[in-house]
């Protein structure tokens, strides 16, 4: 082992001589480098080696390489690259090869090696690494894409990039990203050829044009005509005949390019959509969005002599026409959602009253057809509320919606929050609606809860959000005594029985904490009421940490803090949670340190060590040591 380590260190003798001779490092620094390398080399000689050992060695050599570069710039010395820089980079390459040989399935290691090769301008090495990597990871589409991208953008080899992507599609034909990147690369190649031709045609007319003609190959002619790019689209449709999302991704790629072929290719994709996917909701959404492209609008709609406002109206009417056709052909909730979300996007960009009225009309039509999603219903409620719609109309809609989506907390929350902002004439109806919502949501199974990811909706809510909304409303509407009775009754109901034991236990724990929190609404005897309920329910299940934490907060917020009462709560807290959570003991100790009770601190320390589990005890001792250091410093 020692002989191998010495041999590898001695391989750098020439490197050490050069860096000392040229003033990059002094003798002491060289000794430190040798010492560090020996430590790493000895670790690599162990039988049990891990990836981290190699990565730390690579990181050290990489930092050494960067330091050499900085010292060169400072000294303005730019010689002996072969003996200095190349030696370190060769060492790093050797380390990468060793660790990759041991862990060939780690793609991140390969990419890290490639990044290093790029940093030191080893282009040939990058190509070789990608070739070896593709042999092992031929089913990983991200590797094929990265290799093709490097050949196209950095190695100036578009033909190699095209060949790689064609091979990739044979290995991973089901990959959407491969088809998309292949299409993008063909468009980039079109842009490249067009730029080259514009440069060649720039100066001398005829002579230049002849040169352009002779330099443009038959392949380039096909490229400039868009035949290859359109062939990619056609082959993608053949391989994935039911994947409309892939076609839509091609349209998004086209929007990033300003080529004369963009409209032609969009028209080609549009024809495929209308012929092959007439029964898909995404088709109508995509066809409508094409009119955001000014060139497409100009080509398909006569608008040359119109003002900007008239053009925008004409564009919006054309989009409406497409969506109206869609909802007449495909009568689904998804189709209506596309139609409404599209106009919500328009509204966010323009804030036009006409668009707002159209959205409200669409939502009403979808609601009447029973095809409005609950997320869009939430949005409808908020829009109606902003528009100050008739309250009776809102109440009627809310009654129907909460019957339809009775297990959806988000719908309940939206409807109730809208009504709480109305006048007090709805107080009785609102109280009954709150009771109905809470009763329903407390008893549903988790599998019944409805959820849907949506860009145009309020944040997803839970039964706890509905409870908080109720408590906020009740705090300003009901008397304190009535509010506390309501909370206590619900707490006892959930702690005793329930269809969903875990859900009811969570709600009971939540209400138990809220019970003492809301006691503080009593202006003169709030803390007394809180203490009464604390003593009454501190040992009643479910016993939860937030209950004790809230009581400690209330005691500490008093104008005159009663230390004995705080200690009593802490004693109860550690009795229930002293074996599970080291932070409880730390908070108790911190309280006593502030009150300069050293004897109590030592007693608490030993009690904590005795009661905590082994893992929590270790955490406690570390945190306690840091706490003591902080207190010494402050003294």
On whether residue 136 sits in a domain, the answer given is no
Question: Which residue in 492, 122, 303, 328 sits closest to 130, CA to CA?
Answer: 122
> Which residues of the chain fall below pLDDT 50?
207-209, 211-212, 214-215, 447, 451-457, 633-635
* Domain of residue 605, residue span: 562-634
The pair phi, psi for residue 255, each rounded to 5°, is -65, -20
Q: What is the pLDDT of residues 572-624, one digit of tens each?
A: 998 998 888 889 888 888 888 887 777 788 888 888 888 888 888 888 888 88
User: Distance between CA 435 and CA 224 in Å, rounded?
Assistant: 68
* CB of 185 closer than 8 Å to CB of 162: yes
CB count within 10 Å of CB 475 equals 12
pLDDT for 325: 92
Rounded to whole angstroms, how far apart are CA atoms 175 and 182?
Answer: 11
According to the model, what pLDDT value does residue 300 have? Answer: 72
- How far apart are the two ends of the chain, measured CA to CA in Å? 53
CA angle, residues 70, 74, 79, in degrees to nearest 5:
80
| Model pLDDT, residue 389 | 61
What pLDDT, on the 0 to 100 scale, is given for residue 456? 44
Q: Is residue 6 a part of any domain in this protein?
A: yes
Residue 607, domain member (yes or no) = yes
Q: 183: which 2 tokens?
A: 């299409």
DSSP designation for 451: -
The pair of three-digit structure tokens given for residue 56, joined into one six-digit string: 């730390």
Q: Is the peptide bond before 542 cis (omega within 30 degrees of 0)?
A: yes
Give the number of other Cβ atoms within 10 Å of residue 568's Cβ: 16
- What's the angle, vertex CA 79, arms to CA 77 and CA 82, rounded to 5? 140
pLDDT at 250: 92
In a domain, 10, yes or no: yes
Instruction: Give the pLDDT confidence score for residue 598 in this predicted structure.
Output: 72
Select from 103, 123, 142 the last residue of a domain.
103
Q: Residue 406 has which token pair?
A: 């009775």
Whole-structure pTM value: 0.70
User: What is the distance between the alpha carbons of residues 22 and 599, in angstroms, rounded to a whole number?
Assistant: 65
Position 447 scores a pLDDT of 45
Q: How far apart are CA 393 and CA 474, in angstroms?
A: 24
Give Rg (Cα) of the chain. 36
Is 371 part of a structural domain of the chain? no
Q: How far apart are CA 481 and CA 310, in angstroms?
A: 62
Q: Each residue of 183-194: pLDDT tens digit?
A: 999 988 888 887
Q: Is residue 57 part of a domain?
A: yes
For residue 425, give both structure tokens: 């004439």
**Nearest-angstrom CA–CA distance, 113 and 253:** 30
Q: Annotate 335-364 with b (16+ C-beta within 10 A) or e (fewer).
A: bbbbbbbbbbebbeeeeeeebbebbbebbe
Does residue 626 form part of some domain? Answer: yes
Compute the half-sphere exposure of residue 412: CA atoms within 13 Å on the CB side of its CA: 29
Quote the tokens at residue 1: 């082992």
Which of 103, 130, 160 is at the close of a domain? 103
d(CA 341, CA 344): 5
Instruction: Choose the final residue of a domain: 44, 75, 103.
Output: 103
Place of tokens 């060695």: 57
Residue with tokens 């007449």: 328
Structural domains of the chain, count: 2
Helices (H), 120-261: 123-136, 141-153, 158-171, 176-200, 205-215, 218-224, 227-239, 244-254
Is residue 316 assigned to a domain? no
């Amino acid at each position: 082992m020692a002989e191998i380590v010495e041999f590898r260190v001695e391989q750098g003798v020439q490197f050490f001589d050069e860096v000392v001779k040229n003033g990059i490092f002094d003798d002491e620094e060289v000794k430190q480098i040798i010492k560090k390398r020996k430590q790493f080399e000895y670790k690599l000689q162990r039988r049990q080696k891990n990836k981290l050992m190699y990565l730390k060695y690579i990181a050290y050599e990489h930092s050494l390489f960067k330091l050499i570069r900085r010292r060169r710039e400072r000294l303005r010395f730019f010689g002996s690259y072969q003996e200095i820089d190349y030696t370190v980079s060769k060492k790093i390459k050797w380390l990468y090869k060793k660790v990759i040989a041991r862990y060939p399935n780690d793609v991140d290691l390969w990419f890290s090696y490639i990044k290093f090769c790029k940093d030191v301008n080893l282009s040939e090495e990058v190509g070789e690494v990608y070739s070896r990597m593709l042999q092992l990871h031929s089913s990983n589409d991200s590797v094929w894409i990265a290799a093709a991208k490097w050949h196209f953008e950095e190695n100036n080899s578009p033909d190699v990039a095209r060949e790689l992507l064609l091979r990739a599609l044979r290995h991973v034909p089901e990959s959407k990203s491969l088809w998309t990147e292949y299409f993008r690369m063909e468009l980039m190649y079109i842009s490249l050829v067009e730029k080259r031709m514009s440069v060649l045609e720039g100066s001398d007319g005829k002579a230049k044009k002849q040169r352009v003609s002779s330099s443009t190959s038959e392949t380039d002619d096909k490229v400039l005509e868009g035949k290859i790019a359109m062939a990619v689209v056609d082959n993608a449709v053949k391989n994935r005949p039911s994947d409309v999302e892939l076609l839509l991704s091609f349209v998004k790629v086209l929007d990033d390019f300003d080529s004369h072929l963009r409209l032609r290719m969009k028209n080609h994709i549009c024809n495929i959509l209308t012929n092959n996917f007439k029964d898909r909701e995404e088709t109508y959404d995509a066809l409508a969005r094409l009119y955001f492209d000014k060139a497409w609008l100009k080509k398909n709609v006569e608008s040359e002599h119109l003002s900007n406002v008239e053009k925008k109206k004409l564009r919006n009417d054309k989009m409406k026409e497409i969506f109206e056709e869609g909802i007449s052909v495909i009568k689904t909730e998804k189709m209506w959602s596309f139609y409404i979300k599209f106009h919500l996007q328009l509204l966010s960009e323009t804030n036009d009253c006409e668009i707002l009225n159209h959205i409200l009309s669409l939502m009403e039509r979808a609601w009447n057809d029973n095809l409005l999603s609950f997320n869009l219903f939430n949005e409808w409620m908020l829009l109606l509320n902003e528009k100050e719609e008739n309250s009776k109309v809102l109440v009627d809609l809310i009654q129907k919606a909460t019957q339809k989506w009775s297990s959806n907390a988000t719908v309940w929350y939206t409807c109730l929050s809208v009504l709480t902002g109305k006048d007090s004439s709805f107080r009785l109806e609102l109280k009954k609606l709150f009771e109905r919502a809470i009763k329903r949501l407390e008893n549903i199974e988790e599998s019944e809860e409805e959820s849907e990811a949506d860009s145009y909706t309020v944040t997803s809510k839970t039964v706890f959000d509905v409870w908080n909304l109720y408590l906020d409303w009740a705090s300003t509407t009901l008397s304190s005594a009535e509010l506390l009775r309501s909370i206590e009754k619900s707490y006892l109901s959930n702690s005793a029985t329930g269809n969903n034991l875990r859900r009811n236990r969570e709600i009971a724990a939540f209400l138990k904490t809220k019970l003492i929190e809301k006691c503080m609404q009593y202006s003169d005897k709030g803390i007394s009421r809180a203490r009464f309920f604390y003593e009454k329910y501190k040992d009643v299940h479910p016993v939860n940490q937030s209950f004790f934490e809230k009581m400690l907060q209330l005691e500490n917020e008093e104008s005159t803090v009663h230390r004995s009462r705080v200690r009593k709560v802490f004693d109860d807290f550690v009795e229930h949670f002293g074996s599970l959570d080291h932070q409880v003991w730390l908070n108790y100790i911190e309280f006593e340190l502030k009150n300069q009770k050293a004897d109590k601190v030592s007693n608490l320390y030993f009690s904590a060590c005795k009661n905590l589990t082994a893992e929590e005890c270790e955490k406690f001792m570390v945190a306690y040591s840091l706490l003591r250091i902080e207190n010494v410093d402050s003294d």
